[in-house]
Every structure is written in C-alpha cells, then in structure tokens.
Structure 1
Amino acid sequence: MTTLTDRPGSALLVIDVQRGVMAASVEADRVVTTVAGLVERARAAGVPVVWVQHSSEELPRGSDAWRYVPELVAAEGEPVVHKTYGDSFEDTDLEDVLAARGVGRLVVAGAQTDACIRSTLHGGFTRGYDVTLVTDAHTTEDLSAWGAPPPEQVVAHTNLCWSFQRAPGRVAEAVTSDEVDLAGTPG
C-alpha cells in the first residue's frame, strides 16, 4: 500500500552489520544468524538485498571494523550503499537504488537499533515506503552507562513502537523473521 504506487517490490535492507558495530552489540551471534537466514530467503525469493555500510571516525572506511561480519557477504550485483549519517537515505544513493528496482517496501534488519535502524525506519516511512521491522533481526550496544535503557529494553521498545506506526497510504509493521513475508505486502 506504499505511496510509491509504481513500485510494487520489496527489498531487504541489511544495515551496518559490520565487525566494529557487532563486536559491541548484544546477542550479536543470534542476530547475525537471523539476518543470514533472511538474506538466504530473500535471494531464493528473488527479493533484492541492499547492503548499507556506515563509515565514521570509529569505523574508518576500509578498516577491519568497517567491514561486514564474515558470515554476511554481498553477492555479485547486490548494491552496497555507503553512508555517514544514521538515516540510510541521507546523502546516499539509496533512493536511486530502490527506485531502479521498483521497491516500495523495505524490510529492515541490522544495527544499531537506537540509531541507524530507527533513523532508517522513519526516513523510509516519511519518504512514502511501507516499512517492516524484523523484530528479532536487529541489535544495539549497551549505552546504559550514558543513561540509555539496557539494550534488551531498547530493542523491545523499538519493536513495540514500530508496531504502532501509522500514516496515510503507508503500512508499518514489526514481525519476527519467521513471520515476515519478504516478497509480499505488509499487514
């Protein structure tokens, strides 16, 4: 039901599952395994997989920390979108990548829940995309020393909030990896 009426397709967005990010994230092994399963299912269903890779002072481009975890490798022809902001759309070619593939629905997985995942969810939704958050396929690091809730609560709260997002002509949902219909429509 996306407002991008000429884009009936879905894409799996794999956001920042990079070595340096995942090294500090809770339940990283489980999340990586879940994301790998989603990637495999998307490829089998002919759903585009779009890789998003962050660079920053902590993740210098080309460094070991910047690289994706070894369990997740982009296949030939799968686009990699490089970003420097939380929202994967900001100052990147993500919109062009999605438009070229007829994508109006995003299925989102990766890291960090309280930064790039939330920013991209909202960025996509406000740009007219239907957006599905895969509830067991995202994670974050423990920032409770700086006043944030424990990471498990950050993930749970994001899942809860995203399941109640609404806007005219768009659908938002939060579903498990077992429930997500990668090629279908949300809701």
Structure 2
Amino acid sequence: MSQHADTAPPATHTPATPPVDALIVVDVQTAFVTGDGAVPAAARLVDRTTDLLARARRDGALVVHLQNDGPPGAEDEPHTPGWELHHPVAPGPREFVIRKPYDDGFEETRLGVVLSDAGVRAIAVCGVMSEMCVQATARTALARGYRVVVPHDAHATQDVPAAPGISEVVPAATVSRVAAYALGSDAEVTVRAAEVTFAGPAAG
C-alpha cells in the first residue's frame, strides 16, 4: 500500500504553560554575551531573551532588567562598556532597569516593591549566571510566594574550571542544569523559552 500525505502522523504540539505576568532579565550585559568573556551559550541566550522580551512587551507583562554593579576592575564595573545592558530598554511605565550590588536581585534593591506595586503573581527569570544571580533571584522569588518559571534554554553560565584533585572541567550546560534543579520542585525549570506565555499583572 502506498503512503499518502494525509496518512502521515500529525505534528506534535507542546502546550504552553500558564501565563506569567513579569519577566526578569538577569544581568544580560555586554561583558557576558559578547567578546572573549561571553558565556558559551551566548548566541542562544540572546536569541531566547530577545524573543521573551518581545512577547512580554506585546502581551502587557511587566519587564525588569537587572544590571549587576561589579567591583572596581571587574568586567561589569559600572559605567564601563561591559556593564551596559545588551538589550535596548523600551520606554514606558511597564519596563524597569534595576541596578543591584549582590547576586540576589531582591537584596537592597526596589525589585520587591516594583513587583508588589504591579500586582505580579508569577515571574519568568532568565539571564546569567545560572548558579549565581539567576538562581539567587529565583530562590528569593520562591520564598516570597511567587510562581517562578526558569526556562531551561534562557539562562547560561561559564564552565567551572578544573580543580586538581577535585574535578575535571564542569561544562557550563551541566552547571546551568544543576543550578536550576537545585531550586527544588516548586520552580518550573524544564519549560522551554518558547513555551512561556505572558499576561498583564492584576494591578498597576
């Protein structure tokens, strides 16, 4: 019997997750996604964060860019080229830039107030570095009662160097996966960026 086009198996469709009402883009700064210091997955990260930003803006979600202030001499030292945000910030009342001095985007910043004032209940967290600022920010968000989505293909980090007598090099992709998994079962960490959907917050 010949195989006809209409007998081919149907295309699979992955259902979208329930919408989040805020997108937190963690430290997507020039030093971390361009040049010699870029994370190994920089091209993919920029592609995914670009898409997330476009859809969050389109659907009325709150957008927060976290910008790390590194110490003097660091690649993300304030007001150096590496410190600048890679993605342009869209003007308007629903998009914020929040500078931070620590890994946790909530620590000594106005992030908590911005989310609360807008009526945010669920957030997607993306950016760098997976085991540091992304994980720390997501963990505090969980502790504060937010639903937290960390799309597995929208955060990245560097390889962990080999340590004689301790371990060989740990590839960046492994570090990212373990960092997300360590957030526990309350975080949604196996979702792809393309599956994240957005809606406007309840208030604000």
When the two structures are superposed, what TM-score results if normalisation uses the length of structure 1? 0.83
Q: Please list the CA deviations of residues 62-111 of structure 1 after superposition, one character each: whole Å capped at 9, or x if unmatched.
A: 11010012xx1111131111101011000000011111211121100100
Q: Please list the CA deviations of residues 4-54 of structure 1 after superposition, one character each: whole Å capped at 9, or x if unmatched.
A: xxxx96100000000112233111011101100000011111111111000
Q: Does 1:17 align with 2:33?
A: no
Aligned match of 2:192: 176
CA distance in 1, matches of 2:20, 2:157: 28
Q: Are 1:133 and 1:173, in contact at CA under 8 Å, matched by a contact in 2?
A: yes
Q: Which residue identity does 1:73 align to in structure 2? A: P
CA distance in 2, matches of 1:67, 1:165: 34
CA distance in 1, matches of 2:77, 2:42: 21
CA distance in 2, matches of 1:129, 1:86: 18
Q: Does 1:38 align with 2:55?
A: no
The one of 64, 75, 78 equivalent to 1:50 is 64
Q: Please list the CA deviations of residues 100-143 of structure 1 after superposition, one character each: whole Å capped at 9, or x if unmatched.
A: 21112110010000100110110111111111101100100122
CA distance in 1, matches of 2:66, 2:123: 13
Aligned match of 2:185: 165
Q: Are 2:20 and 2:124, in contact at CA under 8 Å, matched by a contact in 1?
A: no
Paired residues, what number?
169
Q: Flag the structure with larger Rg.
A: 2
| Bigger fraction of residues in strand | 1
Q: Are 1:107 and 1:182, in contact at CA under 8 Å, matched by a contact in 2?
A: no
CA RMSD of aligned residues (A): 1.9
Matches for 1:30-109 after TM superposition, within 5 Å = 30-57=44-71, 58=74, 59-69=76-86, 72-77=87-92, 78-109=95-126
Q: Which runs of 5+ in 2 are unaligned?
A: 1-18
When the two structures are superposed, what TM-score results if normalisation uses the length of structure 2? 0.77
Q: Which residue identity does 2:193 align to in structure 1? A: S
Aligned match of 1:152: 173
